[in-house]
Amino acid sequence: MSDVSYHRLTAANAHFLIGADVFDGPVIGEQLNRFVADDGHELVFALSEDVVIGFASGVVQFHPDKTPTFFVSEVDVAPEVQRRGIGTELCDRLLKIARDIGCEGALLATEVDNVPARALYRALKARETEGVVVYDWDGVMDA
C-alpha cells in the first residue's frame, strides 16, 4: 500500500467520494453536494492511490441553552487497512476541526457489540457512558 493522505472534504475534492466502498451505500451526488454546502457538516477522508480507504464525519449541534457540541456521525475504515492507525488519525483530525470551529465537546454512539469501534474510541481517550437508550423513527437505525 502506498502512502496515506488525509483530507477535509471540500467541493474541490468531493469527487473522490463518488464510488467509494467505505460508506453504508453508494454516495448520492445530490446528498454529497448538500453535505459539502452546509457549514455545520464535516468529513475527513483518507486516500491511498486516489482511493478512499476511510472517513469520519459529523455535524455541529446548536441548542439555545448550550454551547456548540459536535456529533460524530460515522467512522469507517476499509477492512483490509484496519488496525493501522487510520481510524485514529481520522478521528483526531475530525475532533480538531470540531474544536477549531468552536465546539466545546463531542459525542457519538456505537453498538454494544462493535468491539473494534469501542476499542478505537477508548484509545482516543473518550469516556464510555452507560444507561443511554437509543430510539429511532421510520427505521433510521435499520441501515
Residue 33, CA atoms < 13 Å, CB-side half-sphere: 3
Cell of 136: 429511532
In whole angstroms, how far apart are CA 94 and each of 53, 57, 131? 16, 7, 26
C-alpha to C-alpha distance for 39 and 44, rounded to whole angstroms = 14
- Whether this model's pTM surpasses 0.85: yes
Tens of pLDDT, residues 36-47? 999 999 999 999
Tens of pLDDT, residues 72-127? 999 999 999 999 999 999 999 999 999 999 999 999 999 889 999 999 999 999 99
What structural domains does the chain harbor? 4-142 (3.40.630.30)
| Angle at CA of residue 88, ends 13 and 130, nearest 5° | 120
DSSP-derived secondary structure letter, 3? -
SS3 of residue 94 by DSSP:
helix
